Structure 1
Amino acid sequence: MENEFRITRTSREIYDRFFDNYSLEQLNKIPPGFNNNLIWNIGHIIVSQQIMIYGGAGLTLMVSDELAGKYTRGTKPEFDLTQKEVDEIRSLLYSPVVRTEEDYYNRVFTTFTERKTQLGFTLSTVEDAIAFNNYHEGIHLGMMMSIRKFL
């Protein structure tokens, strides 16, 4: 599992660079032909990690219900975020990942409800969810790389 956690940490470092390389306006811009923007994708991977892992284990998420509602699967940006809102999302890039790793090694995840993802992957264990989360983050990073070409 150490490799899976290393992949997650590296993924989050890549996402973090978007905050330094793109303006607030660029983070919020939805290019023609896209349904979302850079900041939505970042909010989405933070919320999805929580839902997949903590939600699957029947545990409380480390993100607010409001944040989860804005960035869960099937949502899209309804308005431009303020710098304060962007800063909040950035502040959540690492702490949930660190906590997940700690919780994993402290054996907090004692149960897991099996489910099939929208893409057809079956998640039977928390280990499956952690691995799938890395795949999911890669998909959204690819989307962001496409979006940035139009900014």
Structure 2
Amino acid sequence: MEATFKILETSRNIYLKFLEGYTLEQLNKIPEGFSNNLIWNIGHIVVSQQGLIYRLSGLPVNVSDEMTEKYKNGSRPDGKTTQEEVDEIKHLLIVLAQQTKADFEAGKFQHYTEYQTKTGFHLANFKDAMEFSNYHEGIHLGMMMNIRKFL
């Protein structure tokens, strides 16, 4: 699991650079031909990781219901994310990755409800969920690299 957590840490630091390298206006811009923006992708990976890892392990998630609703699968951004919301996402981006590792090391992930993703991946346990979550973050990073060309 060491490599899996290293990938998560690296991924989150890349996302952090997006938050620090773009203005609020740029983070909120939905370029023509796209259905989302930079900040939505980052909020989405934070919320998704919590659902895939914590909720399916039978543990409470560490994000609000409002955040989950705003960034869950199938949601769409309104282009009006505030600086306060960006700051919260920035904080959660790093803290929740660290929390997941600490909770794993503390043995908190004992149970897992098997889950079939919409893309056809079968997640049978915590390890599967972590690896899929990292893969999912990579997909969204690719989307963000495309979006930034149009900012």
Deviations 1:51-94 (A, max 9, x none): 00001101100001110110010001124111111111111111
Q: What residue identity is the alignment partner of 2:68? A: A
Partner of 1:91: 91
1:123 and 1:82 map into 2 onto residues whose CA distance is: 34
The corresponding residue for 2:137 is 137
1:55 aligns with 2:63: no
In the aligned structure 2, how far is the partner of 1:106 from the partner of 1:81?
Answer: 35
Equivalent position of 1:31 in the other structure = 31
- Match of 2:47, as an amino acid? V
Unaligned stretches of 5+ residues in structure 1: none
TM-score by length of 2: 0.98
CA contact (8 A) 2:54 2:60 kept: yes
Tell me the amino acid that sits aligned with residue 96 of structure 2. Answer: P
**1:135 Cα deviation after fit:** 0.1
Structural RMSD (CA): 0.7
Residue 20 of structure 1 and its aligned partner are, at CA, apart by 1.8
Answer 1 or 2: which has greater helix percent. Answer: 2
Query: Secondary structure of the residue that 1:149 maps to in structure 2?
Result: helix
The equivalent of 1:16 in structure 2 is 16
Query: Scaled by the length of structure 1, what TM-score is found?
Result: 0.98
| 1:80-137, Cα deviation, whole Å (9 max, x unpaired) | 1111111111111111111111111111011100011111000000010000000000
* 1:73 equivalenced with 2:73 (yes/no): yes
> Who is 2:82 aligned against?
82
Structure 2 unaligned spans of 5+: none
Q: What is the count of residue pairs matched by the alignment?
A: 151
Give SS of 2:17's match: helix
- State, as a whole percentage, how many aligned pairs show the same letter: 56
